Amino acid sequence: MDPQEALQLKDIHLPGSPDLWPLAMGWWLLFTLIFLALFWLFIVLRKRKRLRKRRRELLKTLSDLENKLRKDPSSETLAEVNILLRQLAVNYYPRSEIASLTGGDWLHFLDESGDTHGFSRGAGRILIEAPYQTGKVQNFNIDEFIPLVRHWVKKTAQSGGGVV
C-alpha cells in the first residue's frame, strides 16, 4: 500500500484575511488614549482662555483704578487696589498660601512674587497704612505706587504665577 493513500492527507487551507471589525484590543487602547489626550487638551485650553479673559478684566479694572487714584487718592480707592491685587494673586497662586496673608506678610509676598522691594520698603507700604486713614491719603507717592502695582500685575499675569 502506498503511504500517501494510507494517510489520506488533504491540502492545507489558509485562513481568510482578518476582519476589520471587531477591532483588536490594541486599537481600543489607542483610541482611548487619543480621546483622553484630546479631552485633556480641551480642558487646558479652556482654562487658559478663562484665565486670559480674567486677566484682561483685571487689567482693565487696574487701569480704571489708576485713573480714580489720580483724581482721588482716598483710602477706599487704595483698598480697591489691594482687593484687585488679592484677586489676581488668588488666580495665579495657591489659594491656601494667599488667603491668610495680611499686613507685612502680604507685602512680603507681593515683593517676592513681583521681584521687587517696593511694597514692603517703598510706596507699596501704603496698602497696610491706608485703611487707618480717613479721606485723602497723606504721604502717598502716586508716581511710584502706580508703576509698582502695574509692574506686579504684568509680571504675575505674564509669568502665570505659581499655578497655571
Is there a domain that residue 18 lies in? no
Is there a domain that residue 1 lies in? no
pLDDT in tens, 58-106: 788 889 988 988 888 888 888 888 888 888 888 888 888 888 888 889 9
Parent domain of 62: 58-164
Is there a domain that residue 111 lies in? yes
pLDDT in tens, 114-134: 888 888 888 888 888 777 777
pLDDT in tens, 4-22: 676 777 788 888 887 888 8
Q: Which residue has the higher pLDDT, 55 or 2?
A: 55
Q: Give the C-alpha separation, 67 to 79, whole Å.
A: 15
Per-residue CA distances from 131 to 62, 75, 151, 157 (Å):
19, 6, 23, 26
pLDDT at residue 109 in the model: 92
Is there a domain that residue 9 lies in? no
pLDDT at residue 163 in the model: 45
Number of domains in the chain: 1
pLDDT at residue 134 in the model: 75
pLDDT at residue 164 in the model: 37
Confidence band (pLDDT; 50, 70, 90) for 3? low
Is there a domain that residue 158 lies in? yes
Q: Give the C-alpha separation, 90 to 97, whole Å.
A: 9
Backbone angles phi, psi at 91, to 5 degrees: -70, -30
Backbone angles phi, psi at 133, to 5 degrees: -110, 150
Is there a domain that residue 52 lies in? no
The verdict on pTM exceeding 0.85 is no
pLDDT at residue 159 in the model: 66
Is there a domain that residue 24 lies in? no
Q: Grid coordinates standing for 49?
A: 482662555
